[in-house]
Amino acid sequence: MRDAIRLLLNGRAVELRGVDPRMTLLDWLRVRRRMTGTKEGCNEGDCGACTVSVTRLENGRPARRALNACIQLLPMLDGCAVTTVEGAAPAGRLHPAQEAIVRLHGSQCGFCTPGFVMSIHAACGPGAPPEADSPPDLLAGNLCRCTGYGPLLEAARQARAAPRPDWEPDDEAMAAMLRGLDDDEDLRLEGGGCVAHAPASLESLCALAAERPGALLVAGATDVGLWLTKRLDEPAELIFMHRVKELRHITEKDDEITIGAGARYVDARPVLARAAADLGELIRRIGSVQVRNAGTIGGNIANGSPIGDMAPALIALGARVELRLGARGRSLPLEDFFIDYGRQDRAPGEVLTAIRLPRPADPARLRCWKISKRFDQDITAVLGAFDIAVEDGVVRHARIAFGGMAATPRRARATEQALLGRPWTEETVEDALPALARDFAPIDDMRASAAYRLRVAGALLRKRLIEDMAPGAPTRLAGTREGAA
């Protein structure tokens, strides 16, 4: 049992003992260490001003990831190498990201700038995810109110093309340093009136959770972080899941994909995108690089948000969830997991361990659309997911699920029935629309009115048909089937 967090901060080893485990990395940097280069813009993981570049071992290899320091709790950095803007380059030198931003006039007020620098810095490191090659995706989690982004996007392009700075350790050396921090010890931290556990194995995690059903389970903290920074919750006991390697496994079989509940979006995206193209596009639209580098698919589901983006798509694909209470496991269809607003079929102390997904026969069959005010890093107004199979012009299979239309992500069962066995035509779709109104009675909120939600839900069903009837016609403004000429 270890009682201290171990990490590297700008290359120097730090051990933290007795620190409040609820403290965010941002507060620790700015208040405790007086390192003020990392800025607080929103304190909820949305603006990216606090972005830091964190290298961690993924499958034994170093992977550098941009993270929002404002919603990273200190224990989550155990075993990581944290680089802040102060450590991006030695005195008198500039990292290629910094050099390009200066040269291209990419800073005006300068407050968001360190965050942009660190997002680009992370993308210039080992294990960069595919969005590193698409500057608008790479920088979707960094808001700038001054520039209009042009010079920053160009700086990202140029910095990515620049050679790796000579002062950075090579991947082998970095891996060795990180291995030096890693161990199989469970971690128990105490400070500020809070006890936190960060078990290293699934057995340990399940035993702890069963033993302490009142403790708050924390995966990526992209939501829990806000409970602390915005609601100012003061949970007395936390159990962190991120050190459990078994939970991060993603296994692919011919007929099934299993995603460990601790697998982060960034790691699951390539597998899921291969399985269903629209699932890949959906993940691109979830949060931002920083959020996807932290957030887990298991957390998104266990949290039970009515608009949790993964759930409708996974329900449409017939996914199941695996749960464990102590040593006892069980499995149930994902759609049955959501009981009501804020209520899931998870007993106190029970841990969501995995999501099992039947591999779709055709990666193009699932279609899903996320409707929001902004394409990137926005919370969904309506999300529609359609797994519809047509044989000889007749609908043979229809699983349709929506988010944002009810208190939980839910199947549109009446609509499905209205389609099944009928010809896949405009007439059938029009006839099915009243069923959709029976399936859902959405609400008005700041994201959209109930009337809009219902209208758009129907429009998405129409769109699903149009993409079959006129395969070449542009139907999408974002993503793979682009409408742009």
Is the separation of the CB atoms in 223 and 303 below 8 Å? yes
CA–CA dist 83, 339 (Å, integer): 42
Q: Which residues have a Cβ under 8 Å from the Cβ of 333 and sit 6 or more positions away?
A: 318, 319, 320, 321
Site string for other proteins, 38-57 (x = CB under 8 A): xxxxxxx-xx-x--------
Q: Please, what is the minimum distance in Å from the beta carbon of residue 107 to other proteins?
A: 4
Residues 379-408 binding other proteins (CB under 8 A) are 379, 381
Q: Please, what is the minimum distance in Å from the beta carbon of residue 300 to other proteins?
A: 15
CA distance to 44, 160, 358, per residue, from 163 (Å): 34, 8, 42
Q: What are phi and psi of 431, to 5 degrees?
A: -65, -25
Asked if residue 463 binds other proteins (CB under 8 A), the reply is: yes
Residues 117-136 binding other proteins (CB under 8 A) are 117, 135-136
Asked if residue 455 binds other proteins (CB under 8 A), the reply is: yes
Helix (H) or strand (E) holding 181: helix 171-181
Nearer Cβ to other proteins, position 244 or 400?
400
* Choices 343-351, 411-419, 425-433, 445-453; region in contact with other proteins by CB under 8 A: 445-453
AA identity, residue 378: D
CA–CA dist 81, 402 (Å, integer): 40
Using CB under 8 A, pick the residue from 144, 221, 244, 276 that binds other proteins.
144
Using CB under 8 A, pick the residue from 227, 375, 407, 422 that binds other proteins.
375
Using CB under 8 A, pick the residue from 3, 13, 31, 430 that binds other proteins.
31
Using CB under 8 A, pick the residue from 14, 33, 58, 149 that binds other proteins.
149
- Total Cβ atoms within 10 A of residue 33: 14
Asked if residue 452 binds other proteins (CB under 8 A), the reply is: yes
Q: Please, what is the minimum distance in Å from the beta carbon of residue 289 to other proteins?
A: 11
CA–CA dist 377, 261 (Å, integer): 22
CA distance to 39, 219, 248, 462, per residue, from 15 (Å): 23, 22, 25, 57
Using CB under 8 A, pick the residue from 107, 204, 300, 415 that binds other proteins.
107
Asked if residue 224 binds other proteins (CB under 8 A), the reply is: no
Asked if residue 425 binds other proteins (CB under 8 A), the reply is: no
Using CB under 8 A, pick the residue from 140, 215, 272, 282 that binds other proteins.
140
CA–CA dist 7, 23 (Å, integer): 15
Residues 57-96 binding other proteins (CB under 8 A) are 84-86, 88-89, 94
Nearer Cβ to other proteins, position 103 or 396?
103
Is the separation of the CB atoms in 434 and 414 below 8 Å? no
CA–CA dist 64, 44 (Å, integer): 22
Tokens linked to 130:
């595919």
Q: Please, what is the minimum distance in Å from the beta carbon of residue 459 to other proteins?
A: 4
Nearer Cβ to other proteins, position 43 or 428?
43
Nearer Cβ to other proteins, position 96 or 199?
96
Pairing of strands 394-403, 5-9: unpaired
Q: Please, what is the minimum distance in Å from the beta carbon of residue 325 to other proteins?
A: 33
CA–CA dist 31, 24 (Å, integer): 10
Q: Is 56 helix (H, G, I), strand (E, B) or coil?
A: strand
Using CB under 8 A, pick the residue from 331, 333, 473, 480 that binds other proteins.
473
- Total Cβ atoms within 10 A of residue 337: 23
Nearer Cβ to other proteins, position 337 or 440?
440
Using CB under 8 A, pick the residue from 215, 323, 412, 454 that binds other proteins.
454
* 3-state class percentages of the chain: helix first, strand second, coil last, to nearest 5: 35, 25, 40
Nearer Cβ to other proteins, position 238 or 371?
371
Nearer Cβ to other proteins, position 216 or 319?
216
# of chain residues touching other proteins (CB under 8 A): 91
